[in-house]
């Protein structure tokens, strides 16, 4: 993980003053780093029977697609409202100032699916908690939660279900 950490760029005061943003675009553009991430993510779930990976818009699409490919699983995008073309279900969630909504296709997950929910960074946990509720409403066999980076000082795990298996490749 030292190689991956060495490729993460800190961006000060983004998206607002006082925030140090962990930028993964510098990791994604590095072929070796991208390969390591794909390998390390897939090793976490290789023997768990995963059938679907749900990637959260938008950076979660990158790692989620790689993970789905490595596992031979399907990929399901979780998107902002109005971005998916067929019948969707939605989950509203609270943000620091107001609310937001996440959607997936109603037919994306079935009762025989074993799902990994993936996003790039665990910060406050609100988006992932909403994605979990959304996927859980479709009654899959099992749901795992995964991140590339976890910002432990923000205590995002507290927003996630206590019974969920949550893994992060890198914890700050």
Q: What is the pLDDT of residues 108-152, one digit of tens each?
A: 999 999 999 999 999 999 999 999 999 999 999 999 999 999 999
Residues involved in catalysis: 59, 96
Which residues, listed in sequence order, are joined to residue 122 by a DSSP beta bridge?
A: 150
Q: What span, in angstroms and rounded, lies between the C-alpha atoms of 55 and 36?
A: 18
Q: Which helix (H) or strand (E) holds 92?
A: strand 88-95
Instruction: Please report the pLDDT score of residue 94 as a whole number.
Output: 87
Q: For 48-171, CATH number?
A: 3.40.50.2020
pTM of this structure: 0.95
Instruction: Please report the pLDDT score of residue 29 as a whole number.
Output: 97
Instruction: Please report the pLDDT score of residue 97 as a whole number.
Output: 73
Q: Given pLDDT bands bounded at 50, 70 and 90, which one contains residue 34?
A: very high
Q: What percent of the chain has pLDDT over 90?
A: 94
Instruction: Please report the pLDDT score of residue 76 as a whole number.
Output: 98
Kind of pairing, strands 9-12 and 20-23? antiparallel
């Amino acid at each position: 993980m030292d190689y991956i950490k060495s490729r993460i760029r800190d961006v000060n005061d983004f998206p607002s003053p006082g925030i140090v943003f962990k930028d993964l675009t510098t990791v994604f553009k590095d072929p070796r780093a991208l390969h390591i991430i794909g390998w390390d993510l897939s090793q976490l779930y290789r023997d768990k029977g995963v059938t679907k990976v749900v990637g959260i818009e938008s950076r979660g699409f990158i790692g989620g697609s790689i993970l789905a490919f490595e596992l031979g699983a399907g990929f399901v995008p979780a998107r902002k409202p109005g971005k998916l073309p067929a019948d969707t279900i939605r989950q509203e969630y609270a943000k620091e100032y107001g609310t937001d909504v996440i959607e997936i296709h109603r037919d994306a997950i079935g009762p025989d699916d074993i799902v990994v929910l993936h996003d790039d960074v665990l910060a406050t946990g609100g988006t992932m908690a909403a994605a979990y509720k959304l996927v859980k409403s479709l009654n899959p066999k099992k749901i795992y939660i995964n991140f590339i980076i976890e910002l432990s000082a923000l205590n995002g795990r507290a927003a996630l279900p206590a019974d969920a298996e949550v893994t992060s490749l890198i914890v700050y």
